[in-house]
Structure 1
Amino acid sequence: MVVVVVFVEVVELVVIVAVVIVVVVVVVVVVVVVVVAVVVVVVVFVVLVEVVVMVAVVIVLVVIVIEEVVVIIVVAAILLFVVAFLFLIVAIRCCINLFFINIIFVVSVVVIVIVTDHSGYGCCY
């Protein structure tokens, strides 16, 4: 009788340990999958921002070859504004300090206003 009770206790202990191991493995797998998914999303965002920046640089270089200086400055400022907006999206998602991004916004808007104001392209005379 004692042997049966001890055997039942050992089996219960083995089952409990097995369940705990399975739960721990499942939790670890879920955490790893979530972390990998978050890293992939962040990397995709960074790559997209880099691609947009490269395209913006190519557009600015094409404009430099084709157009005059005022248009170059306006296009560059607009592209700077767009890049700052994309960085703002990434910053909001990644909780980055927004101070420098706000400076980029202000500089790009000021450049657009000043250049268009004094070049005849804008509405201010």
Structure 2
Amino acid sequence: MSNPTPYQPVQPTQLAQYASPNQSQYAQPQPAYGQPNYAPPVQPVYPQPTASYGRNPSDTGSFGWAVLGFFIPLVGLILWMIWKNDRPGDAGMAGKGALVSVIINVVLFILWIVFAGILFAASGSY
């Protein structure tokens, strides 16, 4: 039989690496008993900027601009072209009013042509 190798004792420096396997070497030490556990400083909460930041507060997109654009479409179109970058809410309402007015006028014009054609055909004169 061969001679078994003698048992070699573990050095204290080698024990330190096995002492606490759950903690990393960068873990913060736990406070001793009786000492207060101070929390890290809390960062102040600042309000987030709103969607109206940097916009004109009088730019509310009033329904009155839509009414003006509806009854005077040329004015609504001009206001939309002037205000589209500076006052987008009001410009949108004026432009929508003008667009609705133009669409309704085109539909009414087509209906008038159809009605006039029907009346002309019914009259019997060619």
TM-score, normalised via structure 1 length: 0.34
Larger helix proportion of the pair: 1
TM-score, normalised via structure 2 length: 0.34
Q: Which has the larger radius of gyration?
A: 2
